């Protein structure tokens, strides 16, 4: 069949030419399902239009905005939370959490461990680094 609008127009033309025909007979002529014929004619009688209503079809975005909002607030409070922990905490699916993070432009990150050093430990580390440098410079000169 051609495009949706063309198919609907074809159905309406058949219906207007021969209104006594059954939906089954029109369906055979147009090569469509009788239920489709019924829906198109019903819509035509109600709205006198062939094209689809604006806003019909699959909706985009999260279906449960409250859950999405919950995911975003938890991520803003604790950006180091893992995806799995977030799934357990919110009760949403992993794909939902991932998609919501992506749409909100948020990224989780792992907290990096900072070395536990004080002034004495820093000085010791510097001395060891100097020894290593001397050792490597001697070995590179010998080779």
Residue among 86, 4, 72, 87 nearest 40 (CA): 4
Give the angle 19-22-25 at the CA atoms, nearest 5°. 110
pLDDT of residue 72: 92
Tell me whether residue 113 is in a domain. yes
In a domain? residue 142: no
**How many distinct structural domains can be found in the chain?**
2
Q: Are residue 75 and residue 113 in the same domain, yes or no?
A: yes
Parent domain of 123: 58-137
pLDDT along the chain (143 residues), means of 10: 76 84 85 87 79 69 82 90 89 90 84 83 94 86 66
Query: Residue 114: inside a domain, yes or no?
Result: yes
Residue 124 domain-assigned (yes or no) = yes
23 and 76 both lie in a single domain? no
Q: Are residues 72 and 16 both part of a single domain?
A: no
Tell whether 143 is covered by a domain: no
- Tell me the CA distances in angstroms from 111 to 7, 24, 77, one per residue in order: 59, 66, 14
């Amino acid at each position: 069949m051609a495009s949706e609008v063309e198919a609907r127009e074809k159905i309406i033309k058949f219906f207007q030419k021969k209104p006594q025909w059954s939906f089954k007979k029109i369906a055979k002529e147009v090569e469509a399902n009788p239920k489709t014929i019924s829906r198109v004619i019903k819509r035509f009688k109600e709205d006198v239009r062939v094209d689809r209503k604006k806003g019909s079809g699959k909706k985009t975005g999260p279906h449960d905005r409250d859950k999405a909002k919950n995911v975003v607030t938890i991520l803003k409070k604790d950006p180091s939370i893992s995806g799995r922990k977030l799934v357990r905490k919110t009760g949403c699916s992993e794909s939902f959490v991932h998609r919501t993070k992506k749409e909100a432009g948020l990224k989780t990150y792992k907290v990096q461990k900072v070395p536990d050093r004080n002034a004495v430990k820093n000085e010791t580390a510097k001395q060891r680094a100097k020894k290593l440098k001397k050792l490597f410079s001697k070995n590179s000169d010998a080779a």
